[in-house]
Amino acid sequence: MSRSLEGAAVVGIGRSPFMRSSGRTTLSMAAQAAREALADCGLTAADVDGFTCYSTGDSAGPSQVAHAIGVDDLGWSLSVLGGGNIVTSTVAGAAAAVLSGQAEVVVVYRVLGSQTRYGRALERIEVDGEGQFAGPHGYLVPPQWFAMFCRRHQLRVRLHRGGPGRHRGAGT
């Protein structure tokens, strides 16, 4: 197995409170979480030279958050558009920046504002291509797709092993 990201580590974790209608901006929540993550690992804003996040267009950008916590010299920054499993690419990007010498300390974050809504549409949604057949049934986002793949796998395992029972959830 390749160990290409060996030598980089997650060393601090921070978060803002989870709540609806906090009245706070995504910038203030991301800045609070970044400060807490730095405090958790004994670092300060002066130690940070990289920032990255992923979002679906509802977030404060890395440069904004870095400035808000007092980072004066931001040498590496990346904002990735996407959700779901994009977190892995974002963390891997930060690790690669550290390992390649582009940055020494990178803050990685994701922030959702109170106005972000998942699970219901507030307006009419238009979908083209193959999505026009799945959209009316609410089958539009990766967790729903993964659930179908997992369910199909569960059924195959049950049929192959001789029926329901002991292999529930195999491979999920």
SS3 assignment, position 81: strand
Query: Which pair of structure tokens corresponds to residue 39?
Result: 């405090």
CB atoms within 10 A of CB 119: 6
pTM value > 0.95: no
Same domain, 93 and 134: no
Query: Which pair of structure tokens corresponds to residue 125?
Result: 């949604």
- Domain, as residue range, for 159: 125-172
Q: Convert the pLDDT of each residue in 40-58 to its tens digit.
A: 999 999 999 999 998 877 7
Q: Convert the pLDDT of each residue in 117-172 to its tens digit.
A: 555 556 776 777 877 887 777 777 776 777 777 777 777 777 766 655 544 444 44
Whole-number percent of the chain with pLDDT over 70: 82
Same domain, 35 and 87: yes
> What pLDDT score was predicted for residue 172?
40
Question: Which of 78, 109, 140 delimits the end of a domain?
Answer: 109
Whether residue 119 lies inside any domain: the answer is no
Question: Which of 109, 142, 161 delimits the end of a domain?
Answer: 109
Report the CATH number that the domain containing residue 95 is assigned in CATH: 3.40.47.10
C-alpha distances (whole Å) from 131 to each of 1, 56, 71, 86 are 37, 19, 43, 21
Rounded Cα gap, residues 111 and 25, in angstroms? 10
Whether residue 172 lies inside any domain: the answer is yes
The whole-chain average pLDDT of the chain stands at: 81
Q: Convert the pLDDT of each residue in 69-103 to its tens digit.
A: 999 889 999 999 887 778 888 999 999 999 999 99
Structural domains in the chain (count): 2
> What pLDDT score was predicted for residue 114?
58
